[in-house]
Amino acid sequence: MAVGVLALQGSFNEHIAALRRLGVKGIAIRKPEQLESISSLIIPGGESTTMAKLAEYHNLFPALREFVKMGKPVWGTCAGLIFLANKATGQKTGGQELIGGLDCTVHRNFFGSQIQSFEAEIPIPEIADKEGGPPSFRGVFIRAPAILEVGPGVEVLADIPVSSEKSSSPVTLQGEEEKAGSEEKVIVAVRQGKLLATAFHPELTADFRWHSYFLKMANEAGDEASSSSSTINEGSSSLLSERTPNDLPIFQ
C-alpha cells in the first residue's frame, strides 16, 4: 500500500515518516501525472498561500479537484484543511484558490499568528473507539484554521472550546443550535465520506492514530485484498510513545 503526500511545501516529510512507522510507503507528489499512480492522498500543513501558488504553477488544481471528485480518500491537515474546504474566510486580499469538496466553511488563521501557536488536549471519541489508546489527542495548532460551519453530511470528529472574544456567535455543530449559556466550541476535525480534515498537525506527534484511521479509510475505499488493515490495527496503539516536549503553550 502506498499513499501520496503533496510535497510542495510544509510538513510533508513528517507525514511520510509517520506512514513509514506504520509500514506504509509515502510517495511525494509534485506533478499532476503522479496522482494517477496513487489511490489516496495527504495534503499537509504549511503556508497555504505559498502552497496554492506552487500548486497553480505546477497546474495541480484541476488534477487535485478531479482526484477528490472521483471519491478517492484525501486527508488535509491545517493548510490541507483550508484547501479541501468549499469556502474559506479570513483570506488575504484576492483570496487563494481552493480544491473544494468538503462541505464546510473554514476560517483561515482562526487562532492567530505564528506566535500564538499552542497545544491542546482534544477529546476524540470516534478515533479512540476505532484505534484504541487514550480518549484524547494532544493537538499541535500552528497558525491554525478552524471550521465555523459544516453541512449535513459532515461528521464532526473533534472540537475545542473557545473564548467569547474568539467567537461572536455560537458555532453550529451538525446543524444543531448551541443551547443558551453553553460553552462555545469550534470544530477542528471532520470527516465527509472519504475526506478527512484536521486543523492541527498529527504528523508532529508520536501518536499515529489519525494516520492509522486514514489508512483504514483508504483500505475501505480501494484495495479489499490488502491485509494491511489488520496490521495497522494491531500496531497503532503500541506506537503511542511519549513525544519530546516543546515550548508551545497549552490552550485553556
The residues assigned a catalytic role are 78, 201, 203
E-strand stretches of the chain: 2-6, 25-29, 41-43, 74-77, 85-89, 102-107, 118-123, 136-141, 146-150, 155-161, 185-192, 195-198
**Could you tell me which of 96, 109, 189, 190 has the C-alpha nearest to residue 144?**
109
Q: How far apart are CA 125 and CA 185, in angstroms?
A: 16
Helix residue ranges per DSSP H, 37-195:
48-57, 61-69, 79-84, 125-131
**What gap in Å lies between CA 208 and CA 233, rounded to an integer?**
11
Please give the single-letter amino acid code of residue 184. E
CB atoms closer than 10 angstroms to residue 177: 9
Strand duo 25-29 + 185-192: pairing: unpaired
The DSSP bridge partners found for residue 83 are none
CB-based contacts of 37: which residues, under 8 Å, 6+ apart? 4, 27
Contacts of 208 (CB under 8 A, 6+ apart): 18, 21, 22, 202, 236, 239, 240
Q: Residue 43: beta bridge partners?
A: 76
Q: What cell numbers appear for 32 in the block? A: 499532476
